Amino acid sequence: MKKDLRIGLLFALPWILGFIIFLAYPVLASLYYSFTNFSILREPSYVGADNYAELASDTVFHKALINTLIYAVGAVPLSTVVAIGLAMLLNTKVKGMSYYRTIFFLPSLVPMVALGTLFLWIFNGDYGLLNEGIRAANLEPPNWLGDPAWSKSTLMLISMWGCGQAMVIYLAGLQNVPVSLYEAADLDGAKLGKKIWNVTLPMLSPVILFNVVMGIIGALQVFAVPYVMFPGGAPARSTYFIASYLFDNAFQYQRMGYASAVGWVMFIITLVLTLLALKMSDRHVHYETE
């Protein structure tokens, strides 16, 4: 028995070392540094909770936090609805469906920096493809990139582009819904909307919960696309998010200790929202074993 344990630990040793070196140690080190005044150029000096006290009165941090929460409130439901809708369409019996599934999944593989550059051209206010189409319909297009009233909405729309991964998970969940439930609904005379609301969504609710939690975590960490499309959080810091604020403090202002404090506040907010989503799911998530 002990020999088997040693052999098992030996095989798991590369993963254990990788976990300790690349995950556990950086996390614990960042917690320590969050209580210090630290830059790469000098040794950290302990300052207690000064970094967290500064965050409490930092108006730029408050602005970044509000922007991040607004973005998450808009992007997560929007991406969820689009992903579920696409999954339902791709779950139908249509010739060549495997090709359609591949086409809708491919956009999620595009690197974030390339995606931001692509949408800079699409949403350009003067000669972007989207505004050219709006002008062709004799309508006045908005200034997507230069108007604070539209900048966060632009990023919310872009968030739908990468919903292919969630769509695949929803598609797998849809294929596990018992056909007998739809047949029973047909016998009761239920229309399409009733079947979706009373059969599809309840049976899909565990998958929805998983994707919503992952969506919340991803939305609170949004960085690459707004960093490419809206340098410095322009216009008027309407797209300045927590991840961008952390990055600037760490690598532009060389305030590693303060950036670590931002990261831990970000972690706590993410944890609280995740636990809240799990708590709210008690009434609405249905498992087959229940």
Residue 24 lies in a domain: no
Confidence (pLDDT) at 47: 96
| Number of domains making up the chain | 1
Residue 36 lies in a domain: no
pTM assigned to the model: 0.92
CATH label of the domain that carries residue 185 = 1.10.3720.10
Residue 47 lies in a domain: no
Residue 49 lies in a domain: no
The domain of 220 spans 57-280
Residue 103 lies in a domain: yes
Contact present, 281 and 290 (Cβ < 8 Å): no
Confidence (pLDDT) at 290: 53
Residue 271 lies in a domain: yes
Nearest to 62 by CA among 265, 201, 276: 265
230-289 pLDDT per residue, tens = 999 989 999 999 999 999 999 999 999 999 999 999 999 999 999 999 998 888 787 765
Confidence (pLDDT) at 289: 57
Confidence (pLDDT) at 81: 95
Residue 12 lies in a domain: no
Pair of tokens at residue 2: 């002990």
Confidence (pLDDT) at 39: 87
Pair of tokens at residue 289: 């074993």
Partner residues linked to 39 by β-bridges: 42
Confidence (pLDDT) at 280: 87
Residue 270 lies in a domain: yes
Tokens 């992007």, located at residue = 75
Nearest to 266 by CA among 72, 16, 9, 39: 72
Which residue positions in the chain have pLDDT lower than 50?
Answer: none
